[in-house]
A and B are shown apart, each in its own frame.
Chain A
Amino acid sequence: MIAEFGQYMLALAFAVAVILGVLPLAGSFLRGSTGARLMAVDRPAALLLAALGILAFVSLATLFARNDFSVLLVAMHSNLQLPLPYRIAATWGSHEGSMLLWVFILSFWTGAVAIFSSSLPDVLRARILSTLAFIAAGFLLFLLFTSNPFERLMPPAADGRDLNPMLQDPGMVFHPPLLYMGYVGLSVAFAFAVAGMIQGRFDAAWARWARPWTIVAWCFLTLGIALGSIWAYYELGWGGWWFWDPVENASFMPWLVATALVHSLAVAEKRGTFKSWTVLLAILGFGLSLLGTFIVRSGVITSVHAFATDPARGVFILLFLTIVVGGSLLLFAVRAPTIGNGPGFAAISREALLLSNNVLLVVAMAAVLLGTLYPLILDTLDMGKISVGPPYFDSVFVPLMAPALFLMGIGPIARWKEARLPDLYARLRWALAISVMAALLLPLTVDGFRPLTSIGLFFALWITACVLVAVADMLRGPDGRLSLRRFLLHPASAWGMHLGHLGVAVFVAGVTISNSWSVDRELRMEPGQTVVLGDYAIRFTGLKPLTGPNYDSTQGRFEVRRAGAAADGKPLAILSPEKRIYRASGQPMTEAAIDRGLTRDVYLSMGEPLDGNAWVVRAHVKPFINWIWLGCLIMAVGGFVSAADRRYRQHAVRRRAAARIVPASA
């Protein structure tokens, strides 16, 4: 019953999406009461779409929670032994399920726009919701005809085949929903851009409406990517956190563009310039989300992550991608010449710095895109099959990001329209001097001169110092004294920006320090043996077999102490890495054990059993590695703070107040 109910909800959602995609849009071109009536369909229809999307998704989640093996998808991806949280996560662990998650989140965003859009002009809102509904209709069609998640299995299976063990992890429960919140959230910015292009007008109000939505989507994308990276770090078992895998790139490219978009929207709002560029970024950002879906779901590019691929479905997504992105780019080609450029600005100004950063981000995205698609392009041209590894990405991406990081410090301090170099120099010379000196000296206090480490540290310190200079300016009163009471005088968006920038500094510091001073060794260890790694002594005390709900495992026990501490003293940490065999699939998995800390991780994973009780043990000490994800978290918090700015809501409040006054006076 539930499966049929879910499928029914999907079919209804498709019908509602078509109505919402057509009627309000048509109404927006008509004058008079007919147009108004047609447009008035938009909000109720959007809320209905959201409700149907949620019901369809909850249906599938319920089927998984109840392990209904008469549903093909459940039989394929769940198992009687699979614990409940992973059964729920298995809802989106398959192709069909993850597309349903996509539709669910898209309908959720559509509903959210309908609720929080009372301040928008009716025509703009109707067109935005129609655009979102058009996208939803495309995905619903895809679900219903090529990837039905509710397909029955007759006769029902006695037991399911189990979820990929690599996905049986808390990180994987939250990673896809967060990532999709970001991916799909970019569709809102896209819909704003399309609606703006249809009306042919982009004013400061348009940018102010689009901004909080874009920022929130960006925050979710940041969190989603960071969580995926944490997952790779502890689940794949060799301590890496980013692999330039096509699927990682697929989520990183929209992030780069969304980052550029968030900044260009700021310029469009404050200065009325960069308008056509902003629109192009909004199209690109969502286009790359769709491309990412295409890459992951079509199997056109091989990837470690290709958990669920099917080339046949690629045709549909590609067609849809062409209609949505190709269509909007053509609209852009027609409309952009009339958008206009807005007021000019000098070569040294905040606009120019933001434009440079935007260009660097987009070029970096293009480089990642090229690296991701290059093997495919060569293959198509019959020039042979090749693979592009991390060396390409590292050597292209890092030099592009270095100037971006440098300019990031100056941007918020430079003045709009025209800034003077001598002024900037006067305000930032101490920041520059201190960060250069500290970056050179810090490695010397550890183990000597390290040019690359110093460069990385310089960027982290430079950004921090520039943020401090800017914050000091904000808190300085007319009398020149710092006062915390001035905190509230500034908009939340400014504090959010500085917080976000600090997050980047923390991230860069984490990457630099962990890359420079990680120690890792792969050793043969027997119970009773102690090895010294960096500042830590690691003692292998024994092995025990362990029976999990759906796996059997061998668990090692290790005591971690400071090197040189008494061997019978209380250990700093006891780590229990595991080697698991999942029963349903026979797949071996390494479960790393990590003693986490703000300044270092001690990371152990078990390799292969050797003769007797000896094992290959991989041990790492990774300084400051958690700063990588802490930085991402700070960036996202900064984004949320920005999006919560009162200015974005004031409009709505004022209008509601006005609406209350009207009946009273009438």
Chain B
Amino acid sequence: MKALRFIIPAIVFAAIAWFLLAGLDRNPRDLPSQLKDKPAPDFSLPVTHDPARNWSPQDLRGRVWLLNVWGSWCAACRIEHPVWNELARSGEIPIVGLAWKDLPENSLDWLRRLGNPYTVVVSDVEGRVGIDYGVYGAPETFLIDGDGIIRYKHVGAITPELVRTKLLPMARQLGGS
């Protein structure tokens, strides 16, 4: 019986390997199938700059917009932030910030320091809306069309190239049709 304990490492490894194999099918950069071309989950969250007021995706009905999930604690969000600032200057598309699992005072501090590219920022302090959107980790970005349907999702920091080759062309196409 005592000799059996030496097989434990092999069993633990088998379990990890199984999860890794299963994980390969689930590219975290992909939109989960249950959300693809489905309506963006509705929510109503306090506006970070004015917590007395609530904001909901209904307010942008009829427009193509971006939902950017970020947090002041998130390293990669800092990397992509200048890209958002740049896009916001063009004013081409509304960018809604979902301050995910972040205290409003930290979010505000962050925006004051690094600039605020967002049309509106809402605070999802407990991360419930993040769960509805299947958020895996910040940053994530959703492209939502005028009918409130999620058309594209990007996990991880966005790049100027992605904005140029993917987000803007898709947004223009969706806005035109």
Kindly identify, within residues 8 to 53 of chain B, every residue whose CB is under 8 Å from any CB belonging to chain A.
9-10, 13-14, 16-17, 19-24, 26-29, 32
B58 contact set on A, CB distance < 8 A: none
Q: Which of A276-317 contact B (CB under 8 A)?
A: 276, 280, 283-284, 287, 291, 294, 298-304, 306, 311, 314-315
Cβ < 8 Å to B, chain A residues 231-290: 236-238, 240, 243, 245, 276, 280, 283-284, 287
Against B, the Cβ 8 Å flags (1 = close, 0 = not) of A608-631 are 100000001010000000000000
Is B104 interfacial (CB-CB < 8 Å)? Answer: no
Query: Measured between alpha carbons, how far is A325 from B16 in the docked complex, in Å?
Result: 11
CB contacts under 8 Å to B, within A304-355, are 304, 306, 311, 314-315, 318, 321-322, 325-326, 329-330, 332-333, 336-337
Instruction: Check A607 against B114 for contact (C-beta < 8 Å).
Output: yes
Kindly state whether residue A587 has any CB partner on chain B within 8 Å. Answer: yes
Inter-chain contact A322/B17, CB cutoff 8 Å: yes
Q: Beta-carbon contacts of B1-12 to A below 8 Å, as 1s and 0s? A: 011001101100
**A residues in contact with B76, CB < 8 Å:** 304
Which residues of chain B are near A236, meaning CB under 8 Å? 75, 78-79
Whether B131 lies near A384 (C-beta < 8 A) is: yes
Inter-subunit contact B6/A240 (CB<8 Å): no
- Assuming A376-B20, A377-B19, A607-B115, is B160 touching A300 (CB within 8 A)? no
Q: A236-B79, A607-B113 are in contact. Are A389 and B6 (CB under 8 A)?
A: no
Q: Does A387 contact B (CB under 8 A)?
A: yes
Q: Is A395 an interface residue (CB 8 A)?
A: no
Whether A34 is near chain B, meaning CB under 8 Å from some CB there, is no
Measured in the bound complex, the distance between the Cα atoms of B145 and A402 in whole Å is 52
Does chain B have a CB within 8 A of A379? yes
A304 and B6: CB pair below 8 A? no
Stretch at the interface among B60-68, B135-143, B166-174: B135-143
Docked-complex contact B19 and A380, CB < 8 angstroms: yes
Cβ of B93 under 8 Å from chain A: no
Q: Hey, which chain A residues are within 8 Å of B115, CB to CB? A: 607-608, 616
Cα distance, A607 to B116, chains bound together (Å): 12
Q: Are A379 and B159 in contact (CB-based, < 8 A)?
A: no
Give the contacts of B140-156 with A (CB-CB under 8 A). 155-156
Of all chain B residues, which has the CB nearest A322? B17
**Closest beta carbon of chain B to A288's beta carbon, Å:** 11
How many B residues, CB 8 Å from partner?
A: 49
Give B150 Cβ to nearest chain A Cβ, in Å: 15
Q: How many residues of A contact B (CB 8 A)?
A: 58
Q: Bound state CA distance, A586 and B168, in angstroms? A: 15
* Interface core residue of B26, B83, B136 (most chain A CB under 10 Å): B136
Is A385's CB within 8 Å of the partner chain B? Answer: yes
Residue A541 at the chain B interface, CB threshold 8 Å: no
Bound-state CA distance A336–B4 (Å) is: 10
Beta-carbon contact of B24 and A300 below 8 Å: yes
Mask, A510-553, CB within 8 Å of B = 1, is 00000000000010000000000000000000000000000000
- Does A287 lie within 8 Å of B24, measured CB to CB? no
A571 within 8 A of B: no
Q: Does B73 contact A (CB under 8 A)?
A: yes
- For the complex formed, measure the closest distance between the CB of A592 and the CB atoms of chain B, giving whole angstroms: 13
In chain A between 29 and 74, which residues have their CB closer than 8 angstroms to a CB of chain B?
none
Question: Chain B's nearest CB lies how many Å from the CB of A619?
Answer: 11
**Identity of the chain A residue whose Cβ is nearest the Cβ of B112 in the assembled complex:** A522
Contacts of A443 in B (CB 8 A): none
- What is the distance, in angstroms, from B130's C-beta to the closest C-beta of chain A? 9
A332-B24 CB under 8 A given contacts A385-B32, A585-B161: no
Q: Which of A318, A585, A586 contacts B24 (CB 8 A)?
A: A318
26 A-B residue contacts at CB 8 Å?
A: A236-B78, A237-B78, A287-B13, A291-B16, A306-B156, A311-B27, A326-B13, A326-B17, A332-B9, A336-B6, A373-B19, A375-B28, A379-B23, A379-B28, A379-B136, A385-B137, A391-B73, A585-B160, A587-B159, A587-B160, A587-B161, A588-B82, A588-B83, A588-B160, A608-B114, A616-B114
Contacts A304-B79, A333-B6 given; 11 further ones with Cβ under 8 A? A240-B75, A245-B75, A287-B13, A291-B16, A299-B29, A326-B13, A332-B6, A373-B20, A380-B23, A384-B134, A608-B85
Enumerate chain A interface residues (CB-CB to B < 8 A). 236-238, 240, 243, 245, 276, 280, 283-284, 287, 291, 294, 298-304, 306, 311, 314-315, 318, 321-322, 325-326, 329-330, 332-333, 336-337, 373, 375-377, 379-380, 384-387, 389-391, 522, 585-588, 590, 607-608, 616, 618
